[in-house]
């Protein structure tokens, strides 16, 4: 397995996974791209899932189709189909991707028919793919016990969540939670950087702001604002610990108005600055930041 940092990116990496010991895995990555970065025509012998995490919508040519992928949207391209961005982005954008064979990762009886139909598709609201991608890319970029098993199961989770979204099924309801609060909780989790207000969330679930706020606190044990702040800190710790993304980019991805605002919030929650937290984290093997500082490294 090898990891490299393509020239021209603002930040990010491309991991080559054919030798990772997991059948069906080809490659994966997490990349911050400037407007000048255009993904050129290419083709794979497996499916490729492209999740746009931030930035304006991108336009793609996939076989004979022209498809638009919004922020928090996902493009799925079947094997053997040429695909490329049809035009450069109008602003910097952030995306992650994986190339895999679903039939090698999910038992035949559980494999959704869409993977056999081999038609490209776009899921406009794929926010629930963010967490599975984070878990998968963590397995890709860090040395841990049971690494092959971790990669296998994390890749299978990507296929499972993509299947659910493509089938039009929203994540399962929380049996012990008020349906409106379950929806609002999922909205906060999937749109963490957007800063949804109590009024926004209440309108989405058709409750008055006062009733919604009181119900949310009863069900979750904290206010919507506090819940969002806690999730942002959890994701900030993950990104600082497991990636080499600049702190300014992490702040932007998480919806902070500036790196200074992020640093202040982080210090309030964690008792230290983001840079000191990152430097204090020790991994059992060479940190990904050091591995990715070289253009190509064999793992």
R_g over Cα of the chain: 20
Cα–Cα distance, 14 to 241 (Å, whole number): 18
Residue 5: predicted pLDDT = 86
Say if residue 174's pLDDT is above 80.
no
What number does CATH give the domain 2-166?
A: 2.60.120.10
Q: What count of Cα atoms within 13 Å lies in the side-chain half-sphere of residue 36? A: 4
Please give the average per-residue pLDDT across 180-186, as a whole number: 88
Cα–Cα distance, 86 to 38 (Å, whole number): 8
What number does CATH give the domain 179-221?
A: 1.10.10
Assign a CATH topology to domain 226-288: Arc Repressor Mutant, subunit A (1.10.10)
Residue 176: predicted pLDDT = 60
Contact 151, 104 (CB under 8 A): no
The side-by-side arrangement of strands in the sheet containing 83-85 is 65-69, 58-62, 83-85
In the chain, residues under CATH classification 2.60.120.10 are 2-166
Say if residue 293's pLDDT is above 70.
no
To the question of pTM greater than 0.75 for the whole model, the response is no
More confident residue, 238 or 202: 202
Q: pLDDT tens digit string along 208-267?
A: 999 999 999 888 888 999 999 988 998 898 888 877 788 998 998 888 888 899 999 999
Cα–Cα distance, 173 to 143 (Å, whole number): 35
Please give the average per-residue pLDDT across 54-59, as a whole number: 90
Contact 43, 82 (CB under 8 A): yes
In the chain, residues under CATH classification 1.10.10.60 are 226-288
Residue 7: predicted pLDDT = 87
Q: pLDDT tens digit string along 131-170?
A: 899 999 989 988 788 989 999 999 999 999 999 988 774 4
Opening angle at CA 22, ends 19 and 25, nearest 5: 80
Q: pLDDT tens digit string along 80-108?
A: 999 999 999 999 999 999 999 999 999 98
Q: pLDDT tens digit string along 13-23?
A: 999 999 889 99
Cα–Cα distance, 116 to 28 (Å, whole number): 22
Span of 36-45, 131-140, 283-292 with lowest mean pLDDT? 283-292
Name residues whose C-beta falls within 8 Å of residue 133's C-beta, 6 or more positions apart in sequence. Answer: 30, 51, 96, 98, 158
């Amino acid at each position: 397995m090898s990891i490299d940092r393509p020239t021209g990116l603002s930040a990010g990496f491309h991991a080559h996974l054919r030798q990772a010991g997991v059948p069906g895995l080809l490659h994966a990555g997490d990349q911050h791209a400037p407007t000048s970065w255009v993904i050129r025509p290419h083709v794979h012998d497996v499916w490729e899932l492209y999740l746009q995490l931030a930035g304006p919508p991108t336009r793609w040519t996939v076989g004979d189709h022209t498809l638009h992928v919004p922020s928090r949207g996902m493009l799925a391209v079947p094997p053997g189909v040429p695909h490329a961005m049809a035009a450069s982005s109008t602003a910097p954008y952030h995306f992650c991707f994986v190339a895999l064979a679903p039939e090698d990762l999910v038992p035949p009886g559980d494999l959704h028919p869409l993977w056999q139909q081999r038609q490209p598709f776009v899921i406009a609201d794929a926010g629930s793919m963010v967490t599975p991608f984070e878990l998968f890319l963590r397995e890709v970029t860090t040395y841990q016990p049971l690494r092959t098993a971790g990669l296998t199961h994390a890749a299978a989770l990507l296929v499972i969540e993509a299947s659910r979204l493509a089938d039009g099924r929203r994540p399962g309801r929380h049996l012990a939670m008020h349906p409106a609060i379950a929806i609002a909780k999922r909205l906060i989790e999937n749109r963490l950087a957007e800063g949804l207000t109590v009024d926004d969330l209440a309108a989405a679930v058709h409750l008055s702001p006062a009733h919604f706020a009181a119900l949310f606190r009863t069900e979750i044990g904290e206010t919507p604002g506090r819940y969002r702040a806690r999730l942002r800190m959890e994701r900030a710790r993950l990104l600082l610990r497991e990636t080499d993304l600049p702190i300014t980019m992490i702040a932007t991805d998480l919806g902070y108005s500036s790196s200074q605002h992020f640093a202040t919030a982080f210090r309030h929650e964690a008792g230290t600055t983001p840079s000191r937290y990152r430097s204090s984290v020790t991994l059992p093997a060479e940190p990904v930041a050091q591995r990715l500082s070289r253009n190509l490294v064999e793992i």
